[in-house]
Chain A
């Protein structure tokens, strides 16, 4: 079945003609994409709406308040070796997450080359960067809570700042944490050779494929993608 579908997909028209033909045909829509990948994309689309609504709620409260909004550049500034660096922690967190996205892309690449060891290694490195990010976020939360930021108020201005901050970064941090767990599980499976031997999974009782590394990667890159928007719209704006 799969084999036939793949062959058909290779012969199908491309471009707009292909777009119409794929959607109008009385079969599966996503021709050369496995169900696992298609479902991950659809999940990510739903997650886009969740984060989209958070950011949009933040925009609404920030635009409608008559009280001045705290300046994120100063709120997230740190004293490093006696130098005052605005927003430095957030910048480092951004670089850490981008680096983890890079190592994730490497893992996917090695996975399709069936390079078991390097794939597992890159997945673990990605997970370490992810954990580092969550750690820095925990530090940031601790610092802000000590300075008196609460979901209902803060010392610098509009009360909505705290609720928007904790909601958006908290939800994103949860995503990163889940991603790290997800990465470690997949790394273990790759290291053990599950995707070479077709060893049945604990949860699905079905053999996995190296494509699972790419699907995990989609989730991880999405987490990085969301951070791009949070960084621009919450921290820099």
Chain B
């Protein structure tokens, strides 16, 4: 596979006569392998968080950190977002922020529901 990496000629290189449509994403295979290994390592780390029964803030922050690192690697390298123009990147990556706002709203809502349940529906009122 090493010889294949030499073919790499950067963004948009076409092997044959450059037909306009054939603007592909050509990157060295080595890069994909490195990312692949990192995904394995990060998954192992997240599994170990559970295996060693880490609890509390440490557990949640580690889980979220490994999750975001893995998601970032997949989107940036495997899905080639790193090499796309910003117009596409922002169009796809900014709207999910709305989901985070929804999460914040539902955290408040869930807390409210929990407090109501504890106050009015608890079997053993405290």
Contacts and interface: CB of A to CB of B under 8 A. Distances in A.
A18 B86 contact: yes
Interface in A64-104: 64-66, 73, 86-87, 91, 94-95, 98-99, 101-102, 104
A173 B73 CA distance: 22
B67 A32 contact: no
Nearest to A16: B86
Given A16-B86, A94-B43, A101-B39, A214 B24 contact: yes
Nearest to A23: B87
Given A30-B88, A31-B85, A232 B64 contact: yes
B86 A109 contact: no
A229 interface: yes
A210 B43 contact: no
Given A19-B90, A63-B111, A95-B43, A228 B22 contact: no
A237 B23 contact: no
Contacts of B12: 10, 32
Given A114-B15, A214-B25, A232 B66 contact: yes
A71 B49 CA distance: 14
A236 B50 contact: yes
Given A66-B118, A106-B29, A232-B66, A101 B21 contact: no
Given A91-B43, A101-B74, A225-B74, A236 B85 contact: no
Interface residues of A, number: 73
Contact of A228 (B70, B86, B90, B114): B70
Contacts of A188: none
Interface string A23-63: 10000011111100010011011001100110010011101
A172 interface: no
A139 interface: no
B84 A48 contact: no
B11 to A, nearest CB: 9
Nearest to A115: B4
Given A32-B23, A59-B106, A232 B114 contact: no
A162 B109 CA distance: 22
Contacts of B80: 214
Contacts of A104: 78
Given A44-B92, A66-B118, A228-B70, A31 B99 contact: no
8 contacts: A9-B85, A56-B102, A59-B107, A60-B113, A66-B117, A112-B15, A211-B24, A231-B67
> Closest 3 CB pairs between A and B?
A63-B110, A3-B20, A232-B67
Interface of B: 4, 7, 12, 15-16, 20-27, 29, 32-33, 35-36, 39-40, 43, 46-47, 49-51, 53, 60, 63-64, 66-67, 70-71, 74-75, 77-80, 84-88, 90-92, 95-96, 98-99, 102-103, 106-107, 109-111, 113-114, 117-118, 121-122
